[in-house]
Amino acid sequence: MDDQISSTTPSYGFQHDDDEEEEYRADKHVNSLMDEGADFMQREAEAHNLDEDEILDLAGGAKDALERHRSTLPRTEEPLLDFTEPEPSSTYKPEPEAVKPAPISAFGDAITKPTKSEEKEEKTTVTPSESKSCCSLVDLLYWRDLQRTGVVFGASLFLLLSLSVCSIISVISYVALALLSVTISFRIYKGILQAVQKSEDGHPFKMYLDKDVGISSELVHKYSDTALVRLNSVIKELRRLFLVEDLVDSLKFAVLMWILTYVGALFNGLTILILGLIGAFSWPVIYEKHQAQIDHYYGLVNKQIKDVLGTIQAKIPGAKPKTE
């Protein structure tokens, strides 16, 4: 009974052994940490003593490993570290090129040579007034505005028909009397209406009286220069034809004049002007509607005329075909 130990009695000997074992483990853990710290310090010392080539090799290996790690990452995931070299900031500003002084003429003015693009723009530039006038003329001939075209065509045709019947002095007098009768009648009517209503509207033609109807010198110079260029070109062409610079062209001109003798015997100048006016206001509309058929027959007639002229030109001695 005395040798047996009760199960409820605490075992002090076993508890003492457990405490010693825990102290041993703690001492062992402390010694391992001290050994690891010593190894770490030794590795740090060795790392500080590495050569420059070894450091570059280590940096390159780390960069390659990082790139391989990036390639395995998904697109949405970003790497934690970035060893790529930053791009140099663009702080360099190019110095402006020195502008060479333009050559000076004998009169002391600087001569600026235009570039090719400027020359091309100057050649292809069309002033707004010229484009507007061309568009208005095209719209007039193609009957874009029926009211405006009808007024212009009717007035022009009436004037030419009047000139074919009466003299030019009579036509001018009758037209002036008609305009004066309309304006005077309208002026008297507006004056009586203002007197009855006791209003002060003023002159009925005040808007037109205040408008500037004078012709500017720029417009006169513009059209006079254009007319002078056309006149000089006509004079040069007539000199070339009459002095037989090209035999074939002179013969063509002679045939044209011979045909016009028959036309003059049948029609006078006013009749030709009337026919030309009617054709100018009717031919563009007809050609626009039947362009394909007209071009086809025009090509056939033009080919026949060229063949005939080529045959005649081959039989005339000294005549050489014109190179197109």
162 and 212 fall within a common domain: yes
Residues 6+ apart with CB under 8 A from 70: 79
100 is a domain residue: no
DSSP helix/strand/coil, 110: strand
Token pair of 112, please?
């600026």
Task: Look at residue 91 in the predicted model and tell me its pLDDT.
Answer: 46
136 is a domain residue: no
Identity of residue 68 = R
118 is a domain residue: no
78 is a domain residue: no
Instruction: Name the domain boundary from 55, 72, 89.
Output: 72
Task: Look at residue 44 in the predicted model and tell me its pLDDT.
Answer: 64
Contact 313, 321 (CB under 8 A): yes
293 and 273 fall within a common domain: yes
Instruction: Name the domain boundary from 9, 44, 72.
Output: 72
Instruction: Name the domain boundary from 226, 243, 266.
Output: 266
161 and 200 fall within a common domain: yes
211 and 164 fall within a common domain: yes
Contact 276, 153 (CB under 8 A): no
159 and 212 fall within a common domain: yes
Question: How many domains does the chain fold into?
Answer: 4
311 is a domain residue: yes
Token pair of 101, please?
């002084």
67 is a domain residue: yes
CA distance 205 to 152: 23
Residues 6+ apart with CB under 8 A from 59: 83
Task: Look at residue 66 in the predicted model and tell me its pLDDT.
Answer: 66
157 and 212 fall within a common domain: yes
157 is a domain residue: yes
Task: Look at residue 209 in the predicted model and tell me its pLDDT.
Answer: 86
280 and 319 fall within a common domain: yes
Domain that residue 251 falls in = 234-266
- Residuewise pLDDT in 10s, the chain (324 residues): 444 444 444 444 444 556 677 777 777 776 777 777 777 777 766 655 555 556 666 666 666 766 776 666 555 444 444 444 444 444 444 454 544 444 444 444 444 544 545 544 444 455 555 566 667 888 888 888 888 888 999 999 999 998 888 888 999 999 999 999 999 999 999 889 888 888 887 888 888 888 888 888 898 999 999 999 999 999 999 999 999 998 888 988 999 999 989 988 888 888 889 999 999 999 988 988 888 999 999 899 989 988 887 887 777 766 555 554
182 is a domain residue: yes
310 and 322 fall within a common domain: yes
CA distance 87 to 54: 26
Residues 6+ apart with CB under 8 A from 153: 277, 281
Task: Look at residue 122 in the predicted model and tell me its pLDDT.
Answer: 45
Task: Look at residue 57 in the predicted model and tell me its pLDDT.
Answer: 65
Q: What is the pTM of this model?
A: 0.47
